[in-house]
Amino acid sequence: MSVAGKHILLIISGGIAAYKAITLIRLIQKAGGTVQVILTEGAKHFVSPLTISTLCGRPALSDLFDLTREAEIGHIELSRSVDLVVVAPATANILARMANGLADDLATTCLLATITPVLAAPAMNVRMWEAPATRRNIETLRRDGIAFVGPEEGDMACGEFGAGRMGEPEDILVAIEDHFAHGAGPRPLEGKTILVTSGPTREPIDPVRYISNASSGRQGTAIAEALAAQGAIVKFVTGPAEFANPKGCEIVAVETALEMEAAVRAALPADAAIFTAAVADWRIAEPADAKLKKDASGTAPELEFVANPDILASVSHLPAGERPALVIGFAAETGNLETHARNKLARKGSDWLLANDVSPGTGVFGGADTRILFLDGTGVDDWGPQSKTAVAEKLADRIASHFAAGS
């Protein structure tokens, strides 16, 4: 189902990303929807009520005690007469007020009173996004049924880099369309938190050189988007992949295997964990502080390697209560696929394993297609050649069936 004919209540709170709300309004209108806007007092410092009113063709609201407006359509009716409430940008402040049930202005009063689904697009400094208080508020709101889109990682107006930047208006529109496409009922993975790792890692040799692999991150992104489409809360930990990050997921970007291990630990607990990342098996014991130079003899430098942590195995062997209920690994092999896959499943201790052949000439690394052998400890299922998107959707369906069966 599209946005056409839908009425959206857009709450704009006071952050620099408020300017993106103007583009979001136009996108919703272009898709056939209508928009009523509530501006917080802080939002007025970034976008003017006149601009918003002109775009929407109706007054931008902000005053809780506007008696004329209250007589025409009260805040209770306002919050319930729409098809979806969108908070964009959702600052740390308004998320905290939502999580604690405050109703001290028109925006938070409508949010507390609404029985309509709410979609929030967080936007804040990376330190605020990572703060324990914000993490608690996000988890509280998720338990309350609030859906989220983003935030993204990138450069920020404050000059820092990291997670916390509001998703692009186009991505928010996709999340709105996805909401209507799946209807009002619960989706199969609603309320489940799933961790997905993706992409390669880079292990530095010196400040300009590193050891890595050809993983593009395409399969991990496809899986994350398929899970999010079924209602899962997806925490996406990714190395420096070529493929774009998935929409509607919480993104954590890392470089090295040690950083990925720390990010995975921070993302737990989770109901399921899927390890698609191609993590380097080794790293340089002592990366050089300066670029390594060739000497007159042309002798190559000696590099000492040490083993990286086995992230899949360590999570698979966590004690009950800490281990995700379902742990899924991936195996990229270049020969004897089934034998290596069976050995890896036994050695790593995961519940399921998806193996594929990445030999030169297969086009799997970076390509759109693959061929999967699925192992679950009871046998091997050859999924045959198919696109990575189809693999992702099949895996998401299988995970949903697993949880539905109470396995």
Active site members: 158
Kindly write down the DSSP assignment for every residue of 292-348, as one continuous string.
----TT-PPPP--EEEPP-HHHHHHTSPTTTS-SEEEEEEEESS-HHHHHHHHHHHH
* β 272-275/282-284 pair status: unpaired
Peptide bond into 132 cis (omega under 30): no
d(CA 152, CA 253): 10
d(CA 244, CA 71): 48
Return the SS3 of 26. helix
* Maximum C-alpha span of the chain: 88
Going by the DSSP 8-state scheme, the letter that residue 84 receives in this structure is E
d(CA 105, CA 39): 10
Element housing 180 (H / E): helix 169-181
Going by the DSSP 8-state scheme, the letter that residue 148 receives in this structure is E
- Per the DSSP assignment, residues forming a β-bridge with 185 are none
d(CA 236, CA 195): 6
d(CA 122, CA 127): 13
d(CA 330, CA 314): 15
* Burial class (CB within 10 angstroms; exposed 0-12, middle 13-18, buried 19+) of 196: buried
Return the SS3 of 163. strand
Element housing 22 (H / E): helix 20-30
